[in-house]
A and B are shown apart, each in its own frame.
Chain A
Amino acid sequence: MVAGGLFIYTADLVMPQLVRTATGLSYDAEKHFYGFVVDTTVCIGCGRCVKACREENSVPDTFYRTWVERFRITKHAKVLVDSPQGGEDGFKPDDLERDVEKAYFVPKLCNQCSQPNCVQVCPVGATYQTKDGVVLIDDKYCVGCSYCVQACPYGARYIDHHGKGVADKCTWCYHRLVRGLSPACVLVCPVGARKIGNLEDPASEVSTILREKRVAILKPEIGNEPRAYYLGMDKEVR
């Protein structure tokens, strides 16, 4: 048995089929408040997170709910940032290596800010913050005005012009969180560079990291209070 689902064995198949339903979900949003930790010191830029996210959330081509950026700082202090296809197909070796003094990968995703600009600017109440701190978009209520896309300082949002024409973004896989599962990107990360945890629970891995390690947030000067915390983040990263 799996939470919220059941196995049905059919006569001619040895393989169990998991018939999954949304019924019987017991989830108390009051007892959760999520935080995300990205460890830039271990990320290898394989892009499995980007691929898993695309599949899990049916993200249309050319749009990204999460992506991986590579920062290369040359001998002349020039900062080169690239993210080919959001890093989904990995990064290729390049001929710049001789000039590069420092290089690292920075995965990006929605920061689920505590003071979200996007929610404030939405004219129709289509984007909102849940009690457990995740910013969601009501695709039936969004009018696709893209104010939120412009308001987000992190470029986390896009308008799906090929689909419903409404705004969309990373939800930290909210449908998985409420089932006690990790987001798809966290599940597939082969080096544990992405971690999610309940900040209400002081024993959770993320709470422990925030308490004991040195973390940074993106663009703190904007005052959004993002809740994606970066370990080992360099000053060049925006």
Chain B
Amino acid sequence: MWGGVSSREEGVRVYNSLNDKENRVSHRSHIVRLLTIIGVLVVGFVVVRSLLIPASFGEYGHYRGDNVSEQMALLPLHQGPDLCEQCHQEQYGAWQDGGHLTVTCEVCHGHWEIHNGNLTTMTAVNTSDACLLCHQRITGRPESFSQIAGFVEHLEDQELSAEDADGCVDCHDPHAPL
């Protein structure tokens, strides 16, 4: 490895020449190259991260803040009876006085949006099945809740024959059943 150095004097001369400014190996270029690579990686990470993560992420917590307003913007389909009253005062009045106040319009008629702006889509479940959904005697129903064993049995209880009524609404006004 010290080939060519044949004497102590020559060795000293080679050593000294290595320390001369023009002959010195530059370490700085290595450092600069390394720092440049690290810098590019860091900037790249920050840029890619900012592109991937939505602006509102972290606004309120570890989630996309905009999602809260997206969820709020969903439109309600059920509107409640007050809106129905504006056109259907007669039925609304009967319902108010008829002892079935806890059963709101949309329970039997479907939600408001079906009918919204469309006269022809007024729906109603007016079969006896709809009544029996709540009023049939079923294991688990509270005893105090008014229940019948079935349509036929109820006719017998009321001493009526099968010709007298085809369904519940023949005797009970659906808006004021009591």
Contacts and interface: CB of A to CB of B under 8 A. Distances in A.
Given A55-B77, A56-B77, A16 B86 contact: yes
A20 B117 CA distance: 12
B142 A179 contact: no
Interface residues of A, number: 64
Contacts of A44: 134, 141-142, 145
Interface string A93-123: 1101100100111000000000000000000
B78 A187 contact: yes
Contacts of B13: none
A232 to B, nearest CB: 10
B24 interface: no
Max chain B C-beta neighbours (<10 A), residue from A27, A70, A90 = A90
A126 B61 CA distance: 11
A164 interface: no
B134 A179 contact: no
Contacts of A15: 87, 115, 117-119
Interface string A173-194: 1111011011010011111100
A52 B111 contact: yes
A128 B72 contact: no
A98 B74 CA distance: 47
B72 A188 contact: no
B139 interface: yes
Contacts of B136: 90, 93
Contacts of B73: 22, 175
A178 B111 contact: no
A94 B141 CA distance: 13
A105 B142 CA distance: 9
Given A15-B119, A140-B64, A91 B140 contact: yes
Contacts of A182: 80
A35 interface: no
Given A46-B133, A136-B71, A178-B72, A52 B78 contact: yes
A176 B137 CA distance: 34
Interface in A1-60: 2, 10, 13-18, 20, 22, 25, 27, 41-48, 52, 55-56
Contacts of A55: 77-78, 110-111
Interface in B56-90: 57, 60-64, 67-68, 71-80, 83, 86-87
Given A44-B134, A45-B140, A56-B76, A136 B117 contact: no
14 contacts: A2-B83, A15-B115, A22-B72, A90-B133, A93-B139, A128-B60, A129-B61, A136-B68, A138-B63, A138-B64, A141-B67, A176-B78, A187-B78, A188-B106
Interface of A: 2, 10, 13-18, 20, 22, 25, 27, 41-48, 52, 55-56, 70-72, 90-94, 96-97, 100, 103-105, 125-131, 136, 138, 140-141, 171, 173-176, 178-179, 181-182, 184, 187-192
Given A15-B118, A125-B62, A190-B102, 4 more contacts: A56-B77, A91-B139, A105-B140, A127-B63
Interface of B: 57, 60-64, 67-68, 71-80, 83, 86-87, 102-104, 106-107, 110-112, 115-119, 133-134, 136-142, 145
